[in-house]
Amino acid sequence: MKKKKKIKKIIERLSQISQTVTFAESCTGGRIAAAFTAIPGASAVLNGSCITYSNEIKHAWLGVSDEVLQTYGAVSKECVLQMLEGICKMADSQYAIGTSGIAGPTGGTPQKPVGTVYIGIKTPEKTYVYHCFFEGNREKIQKQSVTFAIDEMANILKI
């Protein structure tokens, strides 16, 4: 199923169950929100989202703790978990997608090379965080991250 069709189905499902979705994006820079808002009817389930690129904004807007940022870094499961909690609270949403990663071409380390991305999905019942590694240039890494997040959201909603 193509990305637009999956997003349309996600929007339809969330509308049917009267739930909302929000996004806390770092390395994807708003691409997930843009993909959703390109679909008519998105306003029924999307109150808003945040691009939280810097650690300071992750902390100030989403409540990511300094301890998590210092101990694990922004590109970590722990950070994405707190991003999801913070954005759900801020947007008063039941579902959320969060991303934090290294899209490159610089910024990678031996422990977290370029292409390392953590993608989280929060539902009312459970929170999932995926540690992904994508290859390619910056644009390809961002596109793969968006596609993965949408695919997993569709899987979780059984679409």
DSSP symbols for 61-102: HH---HHHHHHT-SSSHHHHHHHHHHHHHHHT-SEEEEEEE-
The boundaries of the domain holding residue 85 are 3-156
78-87: per-residue pLDDT in tens? 999 999 999 9
pLDDT value of residue 1: 72
Residue 38 pLDDT grade (very low, low, confident, very high; cuts 50, 70, 90): very high
pLDDT value of residue 125: 97
Residue in the structure block whose two tokens are 């694990």: 72
pLDDT value of residue 96: 98
**For position 36, which CATH number holds?**
3.90.950.20
pLDDT at 30 over 90: yes
* Number of folded domains that form the chain: 1
